[in-house]
Structure 1
Amino acid sequence: MRSRGDVGVFLGMAFGLPWLLWGFEQVTGVRVLFWAAMVSVAVATWVAVRYVWRPAEGVAAATSITPVRPWRRTAAWCGFTFVLFLAMSAAAVALNAVTGVYPADLDGFSALRDAYAPGTAGRSGVPWDLVVRALVANLMQFVLILPLAFCEEWGWRGYLLNRWRDRLGTWPALILIGTLCGVWHLPFFVPAGVDGLWPLLPFTVFCVFFGVLLGWLRLASGSIWPAVVGHAVNNTVVFGFVQVVVADKAAEDRIDGWLTGLSGWQGLLIMGMAIAVLAVRTRRSSGVGVESRQG
């Protein structure tokens, strides 16, 4: 019988290593937590799968890295995921603007100018050169962060989802993993003090929706790669381009995690709709992505 202690090893390392990194930052002042914490999830995955679980089908297959053939299908899912997150973010920002929660500035593009050309503040009209510059900059960041996004997704949606679906069922596994992902980010919020911990609550709620959506993309496609793309595009193009391009600089002090962007009620509603569509599609497919992994 295969070992079932691998999940405990994974969770212990995935949650413990970031706190060690946080302590290292406090002592040395060297900022490594952002990228090293994501890598630590991959380290935890490798140790748990390779040395404790030891699946007969191999590490790559057991954690949904492979198979990726036909590659065109996987590429299509990755492209769909990229567009999906852009569309959801744009829709959320539009609802923010319509409801007056986080006004858009489609006249002066004040937030965009402040971020990329402060000297042009106060001008009107669409600054196409800044739009292109912002897009290129965020696409470059997207490419650079892909390996880090893989590190996280390999653990949460590649390994842990496969292990827990069999024991808990699909929906409980997706929701529990999303919640854990939110709590896992606690070391990132601690430096801001007690007041800085309050945003962790809406962030965790967002992580549940975000994680469930990534999970269904993983299940529908049969591999973790669309989830990797979704994670990377959300951390770069969504935050650094879509919202900055249309945002009103004067409204920045009113940003509330419960109200704006994909973490706001508008964004959660939009992600919920996407989750429902993916869940129905996956359930109706010919077993793609809904295989049971015994272990």
Structure 2
Amino acid sequence: MRNKADLIIYLTIAFGGAWLAAIPLWNQGLQSASLPLSLAALQVAPTLGVLAVWLVTALRRAPAARQWARLTGLTFGDSPRRTIRYVAATWVGIPVLIAAVIAVSALLGVFPTDLSGLSGYRQAFAQGTHATAAVGTLTGIVVTTLFASVTAFGEEWGWRGFLLPRLLPLGYGGAILASGLIWGLWHAPLTLLGWNYPGLGPWAVLPFTAFCTVVGAVLGWLRLRTGSVWPAVIGHGVLNAVVPTMYLVVSAAGRLPDPLLGGVFGAVGLLAFGVLGWALARVRPAVP
């Protein structure tokens, strides 16, 4: 795992920063007005961890900035054209997968939708959040993903850019599993409050860690396949932007999907991303 001290520094700052960022939420709850600021600060913590390792490493052996950028995936890899193709495929493919997950969940009766009356959309419009609902178009997906990818980068440079390659001595499967579990547990300051799983309380840690593991398999494959963190950044940004938008547009007003079964964060979503991660690794090895 290369230098264990580097891993300790990174994980200490990433986890410590996440808990510090979440202090207002523990005092005021997830409905706090400080939620957007806390989320932004939390997502920056992994990047601060990478920068801290860089500074400590520079004191020891002064690595070239270009070498550090390549090692942590800031470049477009050995084949920029291939990386750009994967960015485009991710930008299109993940929204399609999210839509499929919602459709299957609706057919199974674990995601209440209202496509004919659009009651969820109309309720959002009445409450003054229609601008959010209106971005459920192709143009909106592009624009909102760009904005969401800015904060997603704060996580991805840490988890996929820095951490994942350093876990590869565990083997591909071991590195994907370990990085996914760590990433999931890093969200504990939020998930212990029930984040993404209304009514589940602290138990939300378990399903969301599983979710991070299967999604991490897809994002990790993109990172290793291209040698670049940017496809994973876009993939993460798409998830953060498109999931709430699609939920808002298609859901029945006042009704939520079954938190453990329906939607992207339930069993249907876990199965979809798990199968995708497995298929990618089987059809095309992560390392070209």
What TM-score does the superposition give when structure 2 sets the normalisation length?
0.83
**Corresponding residue to 1:160 among 153, 159, 163:** 163
Deviation at 1:47, TM superposition (A): 1.2
Q: How far apart, CA to CA, are the structure 2 residues paired with 1:38 and 1:116? A: 29
Which aligned pairs between 1:185-196 and structure 2 lie closer than 5 A? 185-190=187-192, 196=201
Q: How far apart, CA to CA, are the structure 1 residues paired with 2:146 and 2:126? A: 24
1:124 matched residue in structure 2 = none
Paired residues of 2:192 and 2:203 also in contact (CA < 8 A): no
Which aligned pairs between 1:72-151 and structure 2 lie closer than 5 A? 72-117=81-126, 132-135=134-137, 139-151=142-154
- State yes or no: 1:40 paired with 2:42: no
1:217 matched residue in structure 2 = 222
SS at 2:284 equivalent: helix
Paired residues of 1:259 and 1:265 also in contact (CA < 8 A): yes
1:19 matched residue in structure 2 = 19
Q: How far apart, CA to CA, are the structure 2 residues paired with 1:92 and 1:21? A: 31
Residues 263 and 192 (structure 1 numbering): CA distance in 2 closer, same or farther, change over 3 Å?
closer
Amino acid in structure 2 at the alignment position of 1:179:
L
Paired residues of 1:110 and 1:248 also in contact (CA < 8 A): yes
Residues 27 and 86 (structure 1 numbering): CA distance in 2 closer, same or farther, change over 3 Å?
closer
The number of residue pairs the alignment matches comes to: 273
1:10 matched residue in structure 2 = 10
Q: How far apart, CA to CA, are the structure 2 residues paired with 1:144 and 1:214? A: 18
2:209 matched residue in structure 1 = 204
Can you give the 5+ residue segments of structure 2 that lack an aligned partner in the other structure? none
1:243 matched residue in structure 2 = 247
Q: How far apart, CA to CA, are the structure 2 residues paired with 1:64 and 1:81? A: 17
Deviation at 1:174, TM superposition (A): 0.9
Deviation at 1:134, TM superposition (A): 3.9
Q: How far apart, CA to CA, are the structure 2 residues paired with 1:50 and 1:68? A: 23
**Corresponding residue to 1:265 among 259, 264, 267:** 267
Deviation at 1:51, TM superposition (A): 2.0
Amino acid in structure 2 at the alignment position of 1:260:
G
Identity among equivalent positions (%) equals 34
Residues 26 and 209 (structure 1 numbering): CA distance in 2 closer, same or farther, change over 3 Å?
closer
Q: How far apart, CA to CA, are the structure 2 residues paired with 1:130 and 1:45? A: 33
Q: How far apart, CA to CA, are the structure 1 residues paired with 2:159 and 2:219? A: 10
Bigger CA radius of gyration: 1
Deviation at 1:137, TM superposition (A): 5.5
Can you give the 5+ residue segments of structure 1 that lack an aligned partner in the other structure? 120-126, 289-295
Deviation string 1:17-46 (CA, Å, 9 cap, x unpaired) is 122233366689883320011111101011
Paired residues of 1:97 and 1:104 also in contact (CA < 8 A): yes
Q: Which sits farther off after the overlay, 193-202 or 10-19? A: 193-202
Q: How far apart, CA to CA, are the structure 1 residues paired with 2:154 and 2:216? A: 15
SS at 1:223 equivalent: coil
Paired residues of 2:192 and 2:205 also in contact (CA < 8 A): no
What TM-score does the superposition give when structure 1 sets the normalisation length?
0.81
Deviation at 1:190, TM superposition (A): 4.5
Residues 246 and 170 (structure 1 numbering): CA distance in 2 closer, same or farther, change over 3 Å?
same
Paired residues of 2:149 and 2:237 also in contact (CA < 8 A): yes
Q: How far apart, CA to CA, are the structure 2 residues paired with 1:215 and 1:98? A: 30
Deviation string 1:209-246 (CA, Å, 9 cap, x unpaired) is 11111101212222111100010010111x22222222
1:173 matched residue in structure 2 = 175
1:122 matched residue in structure 2 = none
Deviation string 1:170-193 (CA, Å, 9 cap, x unpaired) is 111111111111111111244569
Residues 234 and 85 (structure 1 numbering): CA distance in 2 closer, same or farther, change over 3 Å?
same
1:281 matched residue in structure 2 = 283
Deviation at 1:69, TM superposition (A): 5.8
1:123 matched residue in structure 2 = none
Q: How far apart, CA to CA, are the structure 1 residues paired with 2:27 and 2:104? A: 44
